[in-house]
């Protein structure tokens, strides 16, 4: 039986994520690509860390939906009523982007895995 190396099982097309992404965007990216982790890059494309779904869970930064605070404020409703139907106004939601970024929750260490098995003799 042949012993497998990292080279035999690795994915050559690595999906990387920018450190500036919000946690919400990172979560969507993981779900869209059926992955649970990725390398993190800075604005210059340099590898600066790794992030995983465990980091997201441990950070506890996903926004919670508060149905009462996510709608338009009463102050703005009078202007909206002249332009939109009440059904359309009822569907409006005001969202905020969380301030925590991927760079904030990532592990700032990167380990290189050699594809050669070194044996202690």
Quick one: 45 and 19 in the same domain? yes
Q: pTM for this structure?
A: 0.60
Banded pLDDT at 13 (limits 50, 70, 90): confident
Quick one: 18 and 57 in the same domain? yes
Helix (H, G, I), strand (E, B) or coil at 63: coil
- Residues 45-65 have pLDDT tens digits of 999 999 999 999 888 755 555
Quote the CA–CA distance of 114 and 118 in Å, as a whole number.
9
Quick one: 37 and 93 in the same domain? no
pLDDT for the residue numbered 7:
80
> Is residue 24 within 8 Å of 98, Cβ to Cβ?
yes
Q: Determine the structural domain holding residue 105 and report its residue range.
A: 12-63+98-113
Decide if 87 is inside a domain.
yes
Quick one: 59 and 91 in the same domain? no
Quick one: 73 and 33 in the same domain? no
Quick one: 58 and 73 in the same domain? no
Question: Could you give the residue ranges of the DSSP H alpha helices within 5-118?
Answer: 6-9, 23-33, 53-59, 74-81, 86-91, 102-105
Structural domain count, the chain: 2
**Minimum mean pLDDT among 7-16, 67-76, 79-88, 97-106: which range?**
67-76
- On the question of pLDDT at 72 being above 50, the answer is no
Interval 83-96 mean pLDDT: 66
Quote the CA–CA distance of 70 and 67 in Å, as a whole number.
5
């Amino acid at each position: 039986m042949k012993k497998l190396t990292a080279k035999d099982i690795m994915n050559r097309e690595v999906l990387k994520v920018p450190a500036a992404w919000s946690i919400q965007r990172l979560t969507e990216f993981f779900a869209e690509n059926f992955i649970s982790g990725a390398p993190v890059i800075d604005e210059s494309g340099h590898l600066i860390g790794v992030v995983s779904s465990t980091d997201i869970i441990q950070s506890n930064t996903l926004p919670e939906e508060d149905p009462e605070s996510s709608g338009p404020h009463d102050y703005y409703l009078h202007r909206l009523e002249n332009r939109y139907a009440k059904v359309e106004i009822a569907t409006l939601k005001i969202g905020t982007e969380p301030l925590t970024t991927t760079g904030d929750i990532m592990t700032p260490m990167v380990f290189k895995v050699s594809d050669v098995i070194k044996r202690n003799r």
